[in-house]
Chain A
């Protein structure tokens, strides 16, 4: 499970071409460009939809190209279903779903349960102490409640008691047994992910082990046991450090996102705010489970080598055991407020200068999402408008990409671009808007429009290489709201006109609707080009001259430097020949600095 909580897990469609056994090509799309008319059949994945009486939806795609089955399910819950105080719980939950059941993960279910109850009692006391620590922080009595030194004696004592219970739990614990059962059975690729909109779980099993998949997945939905809950919170915190806090732009991107969304819960990060993750209690997790992991909030998906009737019967046998939910899960009711003014965010980071521009647009399945998808294609790629206009034409960027991100509840259009050395973020930003104005004011030529539609159709094929990519497409669409989109988005996109593209560009890509993040490099972190003067120096001498140059840059007294230069010059004739090139170079740098300082008027000197 190396790849959890990737908020926008995208799928690489450039995989190798391959057999797709039962995939039909029913939709025919005529791709016409210039004088050539070519015909390409669009993909249609033959999904069979079934419903279980307790509410589960089941999607089946039969394929016999390899003796394996990609299986999984999507729970229609993500970070958008959280609230302040428990942000990150949907993702934490995803981790907890691998901890087992009363029979998987322990040798003694009763003892295990007893210890879990005792652990919660100690944790309740610890939570009271944590509340006092937060109070002390607010009063300024402590600076950092996360450092080991700031723990109170009482808290340390509670920690020791809790550790004893963990030791006791380990006596009956069977580590990661859920994973081991699958691995021993030849399954592979077990993983899960959480986004703002959904939580997906998946694995690939040998074709003869479909019953094992049914047993394992229905068991953990029927009676999950959230053991090792508190150690797993620490794991999630390490995940947060890895993805957000210790990456060059992670913490800035998190703030920028929070600035972009005002009212909508997309405002907080999928992984959760740092203070919320360690404060989530197991009780809150239990409540969350009751609400969002009931059968009518889950879709089961199987893609691969099975007989559909037998597979359906097997799924019914196992998953019918799970009781129907008592009340439907709550939906996200908050609608984003209209954007009334441009937002700007400036960050100095350890990264090359770059721009990230977001506009509020529309979500999954909205009629405008298709022209926005086409706009993305027109702007992106090596023959796209951004590359041609910014990278090749104006040479103000080294790379530039666009993306329409149609999420379940709302959407955004994004352009990211890296500034080319010697140019500025201002120049690049102006150039991006010029390209967008051109889209708004001049209809896209038919050949160009057709080109991106051709690319889209071909990319659709390339996604059909094997069970798992097909599985992921179905899961993604279903998680966003409707699996039918895997087959229906293509024709809708092919129907987009040049006028549609102009219309959505004019409607959404406007100043008051955007937020702009401007990244500039933190001083002193980007490296320096090799000074050609250093070419003749030895490896030991090069660092010396670099330090000299650095020191000279900070010295502003021209007369003092002039005296030093004179002193070196007077000694040159008696210098050791090995050191002569170095001394000559120091002299050259000194003189250059003196000239530079004398050229600057006194009132402009730093």
Chain B
């Protein structure tokens, strides 16, 4: 599987409350509430870090879960957010 580089869409409003991100997409007025795991991925999605690195660095140590299972869940989550245009996924780093 190729590495995926998620990055937060730039036109959103967001705030973290008690460890959970609330995200508003002003284009369609949709409000999202991310749980703590999703929030950790969301906050780390800078376009330069792969989803695998995010999972290994942010998810596995905090939630005591094996990397492959977590990566599978994270990819599902990332594609779901991408479908709502609040996360963009690239196969190339923003650096390149």
Q: Do A and B come from one complex?
A: no
